[in-house]
Amino acid sequence: MKRVALKYCGGCNPSYDRVRQVEEIQRAAGTRIEWVRPDSAGVEAVLVVAGCDRQCVEGVEYEQAGLRVVRLQDGRTAPEEVVGRLLEERGFHEDPDPRGLP
């Protein structure tokens, strides 16, 4: 089971239901992912959930710490695809589009 931290933006005026989208991702992940807070020990990857294109939370500090960061900024990406990206082993440097999911 991979330890993945969940970091939300504040959600001032989101363009999709962030919490519902994350719940769907969590359902899709099942037992493959253990969801923890960003300040937890042993975090292997971070799902950064932004409510809109402004991405108030970018998660650069997690990248700098060498963690895999996957960013969500809309409700259109299939949950299974997000889970797949989180479970990938390669580092963020190889991500073709570090600002968002393709």
Minimum CB distance to another protein, residue 102 (Å): 25
Decide whether 6 or 101 has the Cβ nearer to another protein. Answer: 6
Sort 40 into a burial class: Cβ within 10 Å, 0-12 / 13-18 / 19+: exposed
- Here the tokens at position 46 are 């971070």
Decide whether 7 or 85 has the Cβ nearer to another protein. Answer: 7
Interface with another protein (CB under 8 A): 6-13, 18-19, 22, 37, 49, 56-57
Decide whether 33 or 49 has the Cβ nearer to another protein. Answer: 49
Decide whether 11 or 98 has the Cβ nearer to another protein. Answer: 11
Minimum CB distance to another protein, residue 8 (Å): 4
Minimum CB distance to another protein, residue 58 (Å): 12
The answer to whether 25 touches 47, Cβ cutoff 8 Å, is yes
Sign of CA dihedral 65, 90, 77, 26: negative
Q: How far apart are CA 13 and CA 67, in angstroms?
A: 28
Minimum CB distance to another protein, residue 18 (Å): 6
- Here the tokens at position 97 are 């589009």
The answer to whether 51 touches 9, Cβ cutoff 8 Å, is yes
